[in-house]
Amino acid sequence: MPRLSGKICVVTGAARGIGRAIAEAFHAEGATVIATDKDVKAGQAMATTLGCRFERLEVSREADWQGFEAKVPTADVVVNNAGITGFEEGAVAHDPEHATLEDWRHVHRVNTDGTFLGCRYAIRAMKARGTGSIINVSSRSGLVGIPMAAAYAASKAAIRNHTKTVALYCAQQGWRIRANSIHPAATLTPMWEPMLGSGAEREERMRRLVADTPLRRFGEPGEVAALAVMLASDEATYMTGAELSLDGGLLAGSAAAPG
Protein backbone atom coordinates (compact mmCIF):
# COMPACT_ATOMS: atom_id res chain seq x y z
CA MET A 1 0.00 0.00 0.00
CA PRO A 2 1.62 3.35 -1.00
CA ARG A 3 2.28 5.45 2.09
CA LEU A 4 1.17 8.80 0.65
CA SER A 5 -1.77 7.96 -1.59
CA GLY A 6 -4.48 10.63 -1.62
CA LYS A 7 -2.11 13.30 -0.29
CA ILE A 8 -1.41 16.58 -2.09
CA CYS A 9 2.28 17.28 -1.47
CA VAL A 10 3.96 20.60 -2.29
CA VAL A 11 7.76 20.67 -2.53
CA THR A 12 9.78 23.88 -2.98
CA GLY A 13 13.15 23.88 -4.73
CA ALA A 14 12.18 20.60 -6.41
CA ALA A 15 14.05 21.03 -9.70
CA ARG A 16 17.18 19.28 -8.44
CA GLY A 17 19.05 17.94 -5.42
CA ILE A 18 17.23 17.09 -2.21
CA GLY A 19 13.93 18.67 -3.33
CA ARG A 20 13.91 16.58 -6.48
CA ALA A 21 14.64 13.40 -4.51
CA ILE A 22 11.77 14.22 -2.14
CA ALA A 23 9.37 14.86 -5.05
CA GLU A 24 10.40 11.54 -6.62
CA ALA A 25 10.00 9.61 -3.37
CA PHE A 26 6.58 11.18 -2.69
CA HIS A 27 5.48 10.33 -6.23
CA ALA A 28 6.66 6.73 -5.78
CA GLU A 29 4.53 6.54 -2.60
CA GLY A 30 1.38 7.53 -4.48
CA ALA A 31 1.22 11.25 -3.62
CA THR A 32 -0.09 13.96 -5.92
CA VAL A 33 3.11 16.00 -6.13
CA ILE A 34 3.21 19.70 -6.93
CA ALA A 35 6.84 20.49 -7.65
CA THR A 36 7.85 24.14 -7.45
CA ASP A 37 11.07 26.03 -8.11
CA LYS A 38 12.28 29.45 -9.21
CA ASP A 39 14.07 27.72 -12.10
CA VAL A 40 11.24 27.17 -14.58
CA LYS A 41 13.25 25.31 -17.22
CA ALA A 42 14.80 22.75 -14.88
CA GLY A 43 11.63 22.47 -12.79
CA GLN A 44 9.41 21.87 -15.79
CA ALA A 45 11.85 19.30 -17.20
CA MET A 46 11.97 17.45 -13.89
CA ALA A 47 8.16 17.47 -13.58
CA THR A 48 7.71 16.19 -17.13
CA THR A 49 10.14 13.33 -16.43
CA LEU A 50 8.38 12.46 -13.18
CA GLY A 51 4.86 13.02 -14.47
CA CYS A 52 3.82 15.60 -11.88
CA ARG A 53 2.57 19.19 -11.88
CA PHE A 54 5.03 22.10 -11.80
CA GLU A 55 4.47 25.66 -10.63
CA ARG A 56 7.03 28.46 -10.68
CA LEU A 57 7.56 29.73 -7.14
CA GLU A 58 10.35 32.00 -5.90
CA VAL A 59 10.01 31.34 -2.17
CA SER A 60 11.23 34.74 -0.99
CA ARG A 61 8.46 36.58 -2.88
CA GLU A 62 5.20 37.05 -1.03
CA ALA A 63 3.36 37.74 -4.30
CA ASP A 64 4.49 34.35 -5.65
CA TRP A 65 3.06 32.61 -2.59
CA GLN A 66 -0.22 34.54 -2.98
CA GLY A 67 -0.45 33.45 -6.61
CA PHE A 68 0.39 29.89 -5.65
CA GLU A 69 -2.24 29.87 -2.89
CA ALA A 70 -4.88 30.90 -5.43
CA LYS A 71 -3.90 27.94 -7.64
CA VAL A 72 -3.30 25.38 -4.89
CA PRO A 73 -5.60 26.31 -2.01
CA THR A 74 -5.33 23.00 -0.13
CA ALA A 75 -2.37 20.77 0.68
CA ASP A 76 -1.68 17.83 2.97
CA VAL A 77 2.11 18.10 2.99
CA VAL A 78 4.36 21.11 2.41
CA VAL A 79 8.12 20.69 2.23
CA ASN A 80 10.01 23.97 2.59
CA ASN A 81 13.21 22.79 0.97
CA ALA A 82 14.41 25.65 -1.26
CA GLY A 83 17.53 27.18 0.21
CA ILE A 84 20.83 28.80 -0.69
CA THR A 85 24.27 28.97 0.92
CA GLY A 86 25.21 32.39 -0.49
CA PHE A 87 28.09 30.86 -2.47
CA GLU A 88 26.04 30.14 -5.62
CA GLU A 89 27.58 33.01 -7.59
CA GLY A 90 31.14 32.30 -6.40
CA ALA A 91 33.34 33.13 -3.42
CA VAL A 92 31.65 35.70 -1.14
CA ALA A 93 32.81 36.70 2.34
CA HIS A 94 30.29 35.17 4.72
CA ASP A 95 32.28 35.27 7.96
CA PRO A 96 30.84 37.44 10.76
CA GLU A 97 33.60 40.05 10.38
CA HIS A 98 33.54 40.71 6.64
CA ALA A 99 30.07 39.75 5.37
CA THR A 100 28.11 42.66 3.91
CA LEU A 101 24.62 43.38 5.17
CA GLU A 102 23.23 42.79 1.68
CA ASP A 103 24.89 39.35 1.36
CA TRP A 104 23.57 38.44 4.83
CA ARG A 105 20.07 39.60 3.88
CA HIS A 106 20.14 37.79 0.53
CA VAL A 107 20.57 34.42 2.28
CA HIS A 108 17.93 35.26 4.89
CA ARG A 109 15.42 36.39 2.26
CA VAL A 110 15.47 32.93 0.67
CA ASN A 111 16.04 30.66 3.66
CA THR A 112 14.32 32.47 6.53
CA ASP A 113 11.64 34.55 4.76
CA GLY A 114 11.01 31.71 2.29
CA THR A 115 10.38 29.23 5.08
CA PHE A 116 8.20 31.69 7.03
CA LEU A 117 6.07 32.29 3.92
CA GLY A 118 5.97 28.56 3.16
CA CYS A 119 4.78 27.72 6.68
CA ARG A 120 2.15 30.48 6.52
CA TYR A 121 0.89 29.12 3.21
CA ALA A 122 0.86 25.57 4.63
CA ILE A 123 -1.18 26.51 7.70
CA ARG A 124 -3.76 28.29 5.55
CA ALA A 125 -3.87 25.38 3.09
CA MET A 126 -4.30 22.78 5.84
CA LYS A 127 -6.42 24.37 8.54
CA ALA A 128 -9.84 23.78 6.93
CA ARG A 129 -9.23 20.05 7.26
CA GLY A 130 -7.22 20.55 10.43
CA THR A 131 -4.55 18.06 9.47
CA GLY A 132 -1.25 18.01 7.60
CA SER A 133 2.52 17.80 7.75
CA ILE A 134 4.97 20.68 7.34
CA ILE A 135 8.55 19.61 6.75
CA ASN A 136 11.24 22.28 6.90
CA VAL A 137 14.68 21.48 5.54
CA SER A 138 17.15 23.06 7.94
CA SER A 139 20.71 21.74 8.20
CA ARG A 140 23.39 20.53 10.55
CA SER A 141 24.50 24.16 10.14
CA GLY A 142 21.38 25.20 12.04
CA LEU A 143 22.63 23.33 15.11
CA VAL A 144 26.27 24.47 15.21
CA GLY A 145 28.21 27.61 14.29
CA ILE A 146 29.84 27.82 10.85
CA PRO A 147 32.57 30.51 10.86
CA MET A 148 32.66 31.02 7.07
CA ALA A 149 28.90 30.77 6.48
CA ALA A 150 27.35 32.99 9.14
CA ALA A 151 24.14 33.90 7.31
CA TYR A 152 23.51 30.31 6.21
CA ALA A 153 24.01 28.97 9.74
CA ALA A 154 21.85 31.70 11.33
CA SER A 155 19.09 31.21 8.76
CA LYS A 156 19.05 27.45 9.30
CA ALA A 157 18.91 27.99 13.08
CA ALA A 158 15.94 30.32 12.51
CA ILE A 159 14.22 27.57 10.50
CA ARG A 160 14.78 25.10 13.34
CA ASN A 161 13.22 27.44 15.88
CA HIS A 162 10.38 28.64 13.68
CA THR A 163 9.41 25.02 13.04
CA LYS A 164 8.87 24.55 16.77
CA THR A 165 6.79 27.74 16.96
CA VAL A 166 4.63 26.54 14.05
CA ALA A 167 4.22 23.12 15.68
CA LEU A 168 3.11 24.65 18.99
CA TYR A 169 0.82 27.20 17.34
CA CYS A 170 -0.97 24.51 15.34
CA ALA A 171 -1.34 22.28 18.38
CA GLN A 172 -2.69 25.25 20.35
CA GLN A 173 -5.39 25.79 17.70
CA GLY A 174 -6.47 22.17 18.13
CA TRP A 175 -5.29 21.18 14.65
CA ARG A 176 -3.45 17.99 13.81
CA ILE A 177 -1.04 19.96 11.66
CA ARG A 178 2.48 18.80 12.47
CA ALA A 179 5.74 20.66 11.79
CA ASN A 180 9.19 19.11 11.98
CA SER A 181 12.66 20.06 10.78
CA ILE A 182 15.23 17.91 9.00
CA HIS A 183 18.94 18.57 9.57
CA PRO A 184 21.14 16.96 6.92
CA ALA A 185 24.91 17.28 6.97
CA ALA A 186 26.88 17.25 3.69
CA THR A 187 24.61 15.63 1.11
CA LEU A 188 25.86 15.15 -2.42
CA THR A 189 23.76 17.49 -4.57
CA PRO A 190 24.52 20.11 -7.24
CA MET A 191 24.82 22.63 -4.37
CA TRP A 192 28.32 21.22 -3.75
CA GLU A 193 29.55 21.41 -7.34
CA PRO A 194 31.16 24.88 -7.14
CA MET A 195 33.12 23.69 -4.06
CA LEU A 196 34.09 20.23 -5.37
CA GLY A 197 35.18 21.17 -8.87
CA SER A 198 36.39 18.47 -11.24
CA GLY A 199 39.56 16.64 -12.15
CA ALA A 200 42.01 14.73 -9.97
CA GLU A 201 41.50 17.02 -6.96
CA ARG A 202 37.77 16.30 -6.73
CA GLU A 203 38.07 12.94 -4.93
CA GLU A 204 40.58 14.38 -2.47
CA ARG A 205 38.35 17.39 -1.73
CA MET A 206 35.40 15.07 -1.12
CA ARG A 207 37.48 12.89 1.18
CA ARG A 208 38.62 15.90 3.20
CA LEU A 209 35.10 17.29 3.51
CA VAL A 210 33.84 14.13 5.21
CA ALA A 211 37.03 13.21 7.09
CA ASP A 212 35.39 14.13 10.42
CA THR A 213 32.13 12.36 9.65
CA PRO A 214 32.03 9.01 11.50
CA LEU A 215 30.46 7.26 8.46
CA ARG A 216 33.13 8.92 6.25
CA ARG A 217 30.92 9.72 3.30
CA PHE A 218 28.45 12.27 1.97
CA GLY A 219 24.77 11.63 2.48
CA GLU A 220 22.60 10.86 -0.54
CA PRO A 221 19.52 12.94 -1.45
CA GLY A 222 17.45 9.75 -1.36
CA GLU A 223 18.37 9.26 2.31
CA VAL A 224 16.89 12.69 3.14
CA ALA A 225 13.85 11.87 1.01
CA ALA A 226 13.23 8.65 2.95
CA LEU A 227 12.92 10.65 6.16
CA ALA A 228 10.63 13.17 4.47
CA VAL A 229 8.34 10.32 3.37
CA MET A 230 8.08 9.10 6.95
CA LEU A 231 7.28 12.61 8.27
CA ALA A 232 4.73 13.17 5.50
CA SER A 233 2.98 9.86 6.15
CA ASP A 234 0.46 8.86 8.79
CA GLU A 235 3.23 6.83 10.46
CA ALA A 236 4.46 10.05 12.09
CA THR A 237 1.19 11.39 13.52
CA TYR A 238 2.63 11.87 17.03
CA MET A 239 5.75 13.68 15.83
CA THR A 240 5.66 17.45 15.92
CA GLY A 241 8.22 20.11 16.80
CA ALA A 242 10.99 17.56 16.37
CA GLU A 243 14.42 18.11 14.79
CA LEU A 244 15.86 15.11 12.98
CA SER A 245 19.55 14.83 12.06
CA LEU A 246 20.93 12.87 9.11
CA ASP A 247 24.62 13.46 9.51
CA GLY A 248 26.54 10.20 9.41
CA GLY A 249 27.03 10.46 13.16
CA LEU A 250 28.68 13.89 13.12
CA LEU A 251 26.73 15.39 16.02
CA ALA A 252 26.81 12.24 18.12
CA GLY A 253 30.03 13.24 19.79
CA SER A 254 33.12 15.34 19.20
CA ALA A 255 34.41 15.79 15.64
CA ALA A 256 37.38 13.54 16.44
CA ALA A 257 37.69 10.72 13.92
CA PRO A 258 36.83 7.27 15.32
CA GLY A 259 39.90 5.50 16.68
CA–CA dist 253, 234 (Å, integer)? 32
CA–CA dist 238, 231 (Å, integer)? 10
The answer to the question of residue 189 lying near ligand NAD (CB under 6 A) is yes
Q: Please state the closest distance from residue 38 (CB atom) to ligand NAD, in A.
A: 4
Active site residue 238: no
Residue closer to ligand NAD by CB (options 238, 251) is 251
Q: Please state the closest distance from residue 126 (CB atom) to ligand NAD, in A.
A: 21
The answer to the question of residue 163 lying near ligand NAD (CB under 6 A) is no
Cβ atoms of residues 133 and 176 within 8 Å = no
* Only segment of 77-85, 100-108, 205-213, 236-244 that touches ligand NAD (CB under 6 A): 77-85
The answer to the question of residue 190 lying near ligand NAD (CB under 6 A) is yes
CA–CA dist 87, 79 (Å, integer)? 23
How many residues make contact with ligand NAD (CB under 6 A)? 28
* Only segment of 53-61, 123-131, 209-217, 235-243 that touches ligand NAD (CB under 6 A): 53-61
Residues 111-130 that bind ligand NAD (CB under 6 A): 114
CA–CA dist 21, 220 (Å, integer)? 9
- The SS3 assignment for 170 reads helix
Residues 27, 38, 160, 178: which binds ligand NAD (CB under 6 A)? Answer: 38
CA–CA dist 4, 18 (Å, integer)? 18
The answer to the question of residue 17 lying near ligand NAD (CB under 6 A) is yes
What angle do helix axes 40-50 and 17-28 make, rounded to 10 degrees? 20
- For the chain, the C-alpha Rg in angstroms (whole number) is 18
The answer to the question of residue 106 lying near ligand NAD (CB under 6 A) is no
Question: What is the H or E stretch that residue 232 is in?
Answer: helix 221-232
- Could you report how far apart the first and last alpha carbons of the chain are, in Å? 44
The site for ligand NAD (CB under 6 A) is made up of 12-13, 15-19, 37-39, 57-60, 81-84, 110, 114, 137, 139, 184, 186-187, 189-191
User: Which residues participate in catalysis according to the annotation?
Assistant: 152
